[in-house]
Structure 1
């Protein structure tokens, strides 16, 4: 089974996929083998999704922010400050509600297998720390190709600039953008800390990664093979959480040594300024129900 994604091989999500492959091979007694194509070898996230849809690729990992362009219900996961803390997001991933969302992509020939923790996303910039939304005024901030990400940066006063992940290092270097927003391990493994010397923990969103299989490939698996794959995916997701925690600790230590100035702004002004994003869901009863269910989780 061919599994392609855009991340570096040192990234905790890639390491979780390696674990998935090991467990699947063990469970199937060598009948199912995963071949990994990391670092964008087969294209960026959108290209990999399209390859899944036509059956030219079996499995991929994409951010829920990119997936929202294919399966609109996923846009709920990009709402700023939707999750209270990390445990709240884990509770959602493991819940019936979370699993129901994974199965929403069938009409688009995409089926979710599990969520991978992608931490919280924060702003990082070249010339100054972001201490409040006012500091984003006039700054060009790279975002994913996601309507929600664009809306969020607009609300905060920045100029959202969609650029593919693979092109971002050069865009930062050349001044095409003034900064970006992402989680700490991705900031580190991408080496963006070599260009951006300010990382501001506003933690505006906690958008998970989704491991997906194309329904064309899924339909060719028998019941036992499906069970092996689902079990291997679920086990890799639990392993990934610990890998992620360690990767965050290591990344923070390393970027500080490299001279990155880390600050922890008050999140309340960011939360208040992005509250209007909820208006995007007026008239969408399915999304509103999902938001209510997530927020009411204990």
Structure 2
């Protein structure tokens, strides 16, 4: 049964990819302006804040370009994983995608700087860097790979949530199996904090917690929508803030007029800004349900300094093993001063 479902999913994605073969094609209007019909993919549901913001972005793009650029959105992972969508952009089968900065680290090491624990002191520091020149430089670092970063969307801070134990200090993680992303930095972080990293897919976390395969996981608070029934403690250690990035085909971007580029950039910046409030409202809704319906305890008296001190070996290793990432980390750290 599982194999047949998987084949159906692959076949559907393949059909969609074929259907998108003409993505980014430009046509001429009677007035002589070039028109672009762009396709944008993401892997979240249509009621998610990301989809709602991207829908508003599409409307703004159409308005600001006088209809010469339109954006059609494909949600729910219809076009495959984030890596699949980037591959489609590189092969001219897709124009745009919303992906995590952690995924982009596979294409430009500079993106890995966002995943380093406590590289951001707080939300203000995070916003300042994401809206500034450091991030714009990172956005352009993948132009040789066939795509560029257009803008970013907040995805909150990542913290630990557990089944049976509140996490207030690194010592509380000792002996616990914690689900992490398939990221070396995430695994190194768990080693530094004394926990045991367990890499598994997001869809497996619920049963993993339920059956005791893992003791907890780490993610932003919206994960409690899916896991609040089985994870009873959410501890705000806020060890990382990994943004979502909207990427765009470099080929398509280069084919646009300066007026179209300016209009799209303006719409993208407005989306980043308005999404900060939309994301905060989304988080608040999830936390209200998690506490009132699921009985999740929100643990805020966390010793942040102890966590920051414990992950310092990661910075030392980066300096010798990943100098490109360390250089960006230094710029981010200097931006707080």
TM-score normalised per structure 1: 0.91
Q: 1:21, CA displacement in angstroms?
A: 0.8
In structure 2, the partner of 1:221 is 256
Q: C-alpha separation between the residues in 1 aligned to 2:210 and 2:107? A: 31
Q: C-alpha separation between the residues in 2 aligned to 1:30 and 1:286? A: 41
Q: Given the superposition, is the C-alpha separation of residues 54 and 176 from structure 1 closer, same or farther in structure 2, using an over 3 Å criterion?
A: farther
Q: C-alpha separation between the residues in 2 aligned to 1:145 and 1:110? A: 23
Q: C-alpha separation between the residues in 2 aligned to 1:126 and 1:53? A: 41
Larger-gyration structure (1/2)? 2
Aligned length: 296
Q: Given the superposition, is the C-alpha separation of residues 125 and 3 from structure 1 closer, same or farther in structure 2, using an over 3 Å criterion?
A: same
Q: 1:212, CA displacement in angstroms?
A: 0.7
Is 1:184 aligned to 2:221, yes or no?
Answer: yes
Q: 1:88, CA displacement in angstroms?
A: 0.9
Contact 2:109 2:325 in 1 (8 A): no
Q: Secondary structure at the match of 2:127?
A: helix
Q: C-alpha separation between the residues in 2 aligned to 1:134 and 1:26? A: 54
Could you give the per-residue CA deviations for residues 13-52 of structure 1, whole angstroms, max 9, x where no partner exists?
2222111111011112233222222222222222222222
In structure 2, the partner of 1:33 is 70
Q: C-alpha separation between the residues in 2 aligned to 1:88 and 1:23? A: 28
Q: C-alpha separation between the residues in 1 aligned to 2:59 and 2:227? A: 31
Runs of 5+ in structure 1 lacking a partner? none
Q: 1:219, CA displacement in angstroms?
A: 3.4
Could you give the per-residue CA deviations for residues 184-206 of structure 1, whole angstroms, max 9, x where no partner exists?
13x144x2212212111110111
Q: Secondary structure at the match of 2:228?
A: helix
Q: C-alpha separation between the residues in 2 aligned to 1:255 and 1:237? A: 26
In structure 1, the partner of 2:334 is 296
Contact 2:315 2:326 in 1 (8 A): no
Q: 1:167, CA displacement in angstroms?
A: 4.3
In structure 2, the partner of 1:152 is 189
Q: 1:166, CA displacement in angstroms?
A: 4.1
Q: C-alpha separation between the residues in 1 aligned to 2:202 and 2:74? A: 16
Runs of 5+ in structure 2 lacking a partner? 1-37
Q: C-alpha separation between the residues in 2 aligned to 1:192 and 1:274? A: 27
Q: Given the superposition, is the C-alpha separation of residues 173 and 140 from structure 1 closer, same or farther in structure 2, using an over 3 Å criterion?
A: same
In structure 1, the partner of 2:319 is 282
For CA contacts below 8 A with separation 6 or more, give which structure has more relative contact order: 1
Q: Given the superposition, is the C-alpha separation of residues 139 and 54 from structure 1 closer, same or farther in structure 2, using an over 3 Å criterion?
A: farther
Bigger drift between 247-256 and 213-222 goes to 213-222
Specify which of 74, 93, 100 is matched with residue 111 of structure 2: 74
Is 1:143 aligned to 2:180, yes or no?
Answer: yes
Contact 1:92 1:98 in 2 (8 A): yes
In structure 1, the partner of 2:304 is 267
In structure 2, the partner of 1:12 is 49
Contact 1:65 1:149 in 2 (8 A): no
Q: 1:295, CA displacement in angstroms?
A: 1.7
Specify which of 134, 155, 159 is matched with residue 118 of structure 1: 155
Q: Secondary structure at the match of 2:69?
A: coil
Is 1:101 aligned to 2:154, yes or no?
Answer: no
In structure 2, the partner of 1:246 is 281
Q: 1:287, CA displacement in angstroms?
A: 3.3
